[in-house]
Structures are given as structure tokens and as C-alpha cells.
Structure 1
């Protein structure tokens, strides 16, 4: 097993992957589902950036702009790591390379910027001069990693201590992963460190006796717990999940052809598939709820409404 797994998810199947539309890699994994969004345009510039379909105000985008010999300026949230780079996204109207710093190789010009403008007919139109930004700039996850990998079970009497330390080993951990992944209704498997982040070192961060192994399932929790206890003697929490890994992968596959989709990321912790699009609306979210069930797909928009 990779000895750098501290606080990392142990997803045995395909749920740990992202399906990306276009070139490049997706952004960080998605956050847990948020509360319902108030349906007034001024209140929708939140974490998910969803707007009403009738919203015609301005948007902010922190992204790359790339122009190649084959196509004019386009807005991109991911680029292929080639030279020159490649990407695909909405056209940018009103763009002026002479007004911003940029790189250029073999007729392709690109840079990373903050843009403000309107979005209509699949194109972004500048309403203000673009500002140069570092490639790492832009909104990130608002959910701490510690929350994502938290253990949902209440601590047992005496705290999280391995009931059978002799079977709390890396080999036992691998065996538990295989048992969980092969069980009916398997949803996810992850590790929660019992060592405070400030105290983590290479030695104690990889100690199977100082972790809580978490497994989730849509089937009988007690049956999975009993099966895992046959091979794993460390701390263990088995919890119910709203959807199995197979369910999430089926939803992800069905989302491949969504217009303006940038990527899909199944989130086994929340039991949802995160779908990122260029511009997302409340109406689109309702349609996804009707098609897949409420909470199965969590829509977010890369364009941030600012009016």
C-alpha cells in the first residue's frame, strides 16, 4: 500500500475518478451538498453560483484565455499540459491581447486572468478590462479536508482504540478494503486520522492503529461491519450511504453529454455526483433532481454572478 495515505480516501473502484469534458484535469474534489438556494438572482452568487434562467447580469470568471491558429480567444478552466497548451471553452468577445500579459508559442497565445462580463449564446463578452491572475487563483473548496474525512459514528466508550491491535496492520487494511469493495451496496471507504493534523509525522501518520477505518454502504450496516471485523482489528465505523458506488457511476455516465459540462466527480462521502458547467441555473438543478432523484446530482457553475 502507498505509505502516504494519511487522511486519504481509499476508494477501491471508479468513484475516485472524474469524467472531464474537454482537455486538462478537473479541479479539486467537490464539497458536501449545501442548503437550498433562495430563488432571487441577488442571493444566488453563493458557493454553487446557480442563477435563475432569466438572469441577465454580469459574471466574474477566474480562468485561462487561449487563442490558437484554429480558433479565437476562448475561456478555459483546464488546459492540456502540452506546448503549446490546448483547451476548449466559450468564445471570449472583446478580447485584446495587447492589454494583458501573455505567453505565446507556435501561434498560440494564453494567460490566466480575472474577467468580468456577460454570458449569452455560448459566448462571454467582456464589460471591463481583464486583470492578470496567478494560475492557482480562483475559488477553492470551502469545506475543510477534516470535515470531508470525518468519522460519522460516535466514539465508543473509552475513545477510538483498536480492539485487536495485532490485526490493525497495513495487510489487514488492504484485506478490509477488498472485503468492503466486494460487498453488496458498497459506497465508499476512507481513513480518519486520530492524530491531530499539527502532530502528524511520517511515522504516526501511517500507523494503522491510530486511524479510524470508515466504510459506507446502502446495504445492511451490521452485516458489512461483521464482515470487516473478520479481517480488521483496528477502529472501525460503518455507516449508511444514500447511494452505492455503482449508483454514482451510473449517474456519472448519464451526465457525459450534458451541454457545457466541464467535469463530473462522484463524491462517495456525500452520495452525490458533482457536475460543473460553464453557467448553471436553478432550472437545470430541478431537472436533474427530477431525472436522478433529489440530491443525486449537485450542479455548480464556473461563472460567478455578481449583479
Structure 2
């Protein structure tokens, strides 16, 4: 939506079988208590999957663009091969020898190639809607009298920038962000895409910003430090993971097989990593490797239906 939003699954396995119970697990079954395996290749899917993605062909064959797509013309992206694709059977655009289109598709995934069996053009309804107000909302209840500056003299853009720097220097710093949902023009920001220049300028008013600071340990220390430079509305709350820890984990996962887009430092307070396909085993591995609630894995290919 062009607003700089960082967009930015726990495994529950139950094994059942028919016939008589045996004392030893089958060779392909996970044994409880054994460590999850580190991924070494992209996982195949043993059932039909759904893809909501751009298919793009620069002349070397169609690719399934499950990660970022550059907003150039023609667009640019990369991804796994698409099998059995015939462009004449699907509406698409073309420019400079490049053909592409956005589709919702069901098909099979063997770990290297996606082969669609059902294809239709994607519509806006195919993509999940975000509640932006909930996404950026402050973690503290509104104080008596509402979110108002306590010192107008230090409720300025310069002071707000300084407050972010102070927060980032705290030893247990997790995150800081501005909650602008209290701004009277916020509804126009959500409804208009893109919002007018006048609305964008009005949204930058620090008097209508609740500075949120997240730390993992000492909330009182953080509030006192930030209050030395910031007189506007302030919410300091506790988070689970420091920013430094998430950066370390994100760097460790840069070469994850099948990894797409990744990021950290969002309000979710996790490393958010997209992969081509996860049947739950990648999430299980990162939970065991880094601890639950540190990495959130999102599978681009999801069960069909």
C-alpha cells in the first residue's frame, strides 16, 4: 500500500495409523524428543497447494514470483520454475519481451517446480486485509484525559527523532514506533490509496503521535530516559526479544533454503521470514534452534482449497 508497512506458525504434529500399534516408529515418522532437522533443501508438498503470485517470463521460461516483485515496467522478480505453462491460455501483459500476470493457482510442488492445475486471475479479494489501526496501536491503555503532550515545548519532530535515538541506545531495546491512529486525519490515511499530500503532512504532526518504546527488562528506566527529551504522548511496554537478538538470528538465517523475504524489528517482535513452502518442519526447527516466539515462518505456498 506504499506506506512503509512491514508486512513483514507453530507446528502441532499428530501421527495416527491403521491396524495394530507397533513399538517402534516407522522410518519416515518423526520420533518425539529428537531434535528437528536443519533444512538443507526446499521442501516438496505431498498434497495440492495454492499460490497467489506473479508468473513472469523474461524469455527463459515462466517463473513463480513468491517473493518481492520490483515495481518497474516490466516488473522484475525471480523464483522457481512453473511447469506446463502456456501463455496463450492465460490473460497477461507483455513489454520488452517480458510476459507476466498475477494469478491465484492450485497445483503441485515437487520442491523445484510448481505445476498448476487450476489458474485464474487474482483479484484484490484474494489477498488478506490488514487492520492497520490494530497493527500500529499503542500497547498501553489511554491515560486519564487521553493521549496529550505533557510538555508542548518538547513535542516536536526534532524531539521525536531524539527520543527514538535514546530508545535505541538502551541495553534492552526491542522496538520503537509512532502510533498515529489518534490523529484526526487517520481515517483518510486508511481510506485513500494513496492519501493526499495534505493528509500526509497532517499525519506528521508529533502532537498526534504516541511514541511507543518496547524493552525486554526495565520499563521504568526506559520511560525516564525517553522523558528527558520527549514531551509528547508516550507508551513504554515490555517485549520478549531485543532488537540485537533478532538481528543476530536474521543474519543466521540468510541462507535458509527456500527463503524469500525476511525482516525483523516490526511490532511482531520476531524475525519474520517467508519460505517457498513449509509443512511445519521449518517452524519446528527454528523454534528448537532459537526458542519459541523468536522466528515466525510464513509459507508462500499454502494448502489448496
TM range (shorter): 0.7 to 0.9
Task: Answer yes or no: is the 8 Å Cα contact 2:167–2:226 preserved in 1.
Answer: yes
Taking the aligned partners of 2:202 and 2:88, their CA distance within structure 1 comes to: 53
Q: How does 1:97-176 map to 2 (within 5 A)?
A: 97-128=87-118, 130-133=119-122, 138-140=126-128, 142-176=129-163
Give the alignment partner of residue 192 of structure 1, picking from 176, 179, 184: 179
Residue equivalent to 1:29? 7
Taking the aligned partners of 1:55 and 1:106, their CA distance within structure 2 comes to: 35
Question: What is the number of equivalent residue pairs in this alignment?
Answer: 264
Residue equivalent to 1:56? 46
Residue by residue, what CA displacement relative to the aligned partner does 1:278-307 show, whole Å, maximum 9, x if unpaired? Answer: 111211101010111111110111112125
Residue equivalent to 1:75? 64
Taking the aligned partners of 2:200 and 2:301, their CA distance within structure 1 comes to: 40
CA RMSD of superposed structures (Å) = 2.8
Task: Answer yes or no: is the 8 Å Cα contact 2:104–2:121 preserved in 1.
Answer: yes
- Closer/same/farther in 2, CA of residues 55 and 39 from structure 1, 3 Å limit: farther
Taking the aligned partners of 1:161 and 1:85, their CA distance within structure 2 comes to: 45
Task: Answer yes or no: is the 8 Å Cα contact 1:62–1:137 preserved in 2.
Answer: no
Higher relative contact order (CA 8 A, sep 6+): 1
Matched, 1:239 2:229: no
Taking the aligned partners of 1:92 and 1:206, their CA distance within structure 2 comes to: 44
Residue by residue, what CA displacement relative to the aligned partner does 1:220-255 show, whole Å, maximum 9, x if unpaired? Answer: 111111111111111111111211211111111111
Residue equivalent to 1:22? none
Matched, 1:177 2:155: no
- Closer/same/farther in 2, CA of residues 170 and 60 from structure 1, 3 Å limit: same
Matched, 1:212 2:202: no
Taking the aligned partners of 2:293 and 2:61, their CA distance within structure 1 comes to: 38
Asked which structure has the greater CA Rg, the reply is 2
Taking the aligned partners of 1:245 and 1:101, their CA distance within structure 2 comes to: 44
Task: Answer yes or no: is the 8 Å Cα contact 2:54–2:102 preserved in 1.
Answer: yes
- Closer/same/farther in 2, CA of residues 40 and 123 from structure 1, 3 Å limit: farther
- Closer/same/farther in 2, CA of residues 174 and 258 from structure 1, 3 Å limit: same
Residue equivalent to 1:21? none
- Closer/same/farther in 2, CA of residues 91 and 168 from structure 1, 3 Å limit: same
Residue equivalent to 1:263? 261
Q: Secondary structure at the match of 2:61?
A: strand
Task: Answer yes or no: is the 8 Å Cα contact 1:245–1:268 preserved in 2.
Answer: no
What 5-or-longer segments of structure 2 have no aligned partner? 16-42, 190-198
Of the structure 1 ranges 83-92 and 171-180, higher mean CA displacement relative to structure 2 is found in 83-92
Taking the aligned partners of 2:87 and 2:116, their CA distance within structure 1 comes to: 13
Q: Secondary structure at the match of 2:231?
A: coil
What 5-or-longer segments of structure 1 have no aligned partner? 1-7, 10-15, 17-27, 42-52
Task: Answer yes or no: is the 8 Å Cα contact 1:184–1:219 preserved in 2.
Answer: no
TM (norm. structure 1) is 0.76
Give the drift of 1:108: 3.2
Q: Secondary structure at the match of 1:154?
A: coil
Taking the aligned partners of 1:199 and 1:80, their CA distance within structure 2 comes to: 27
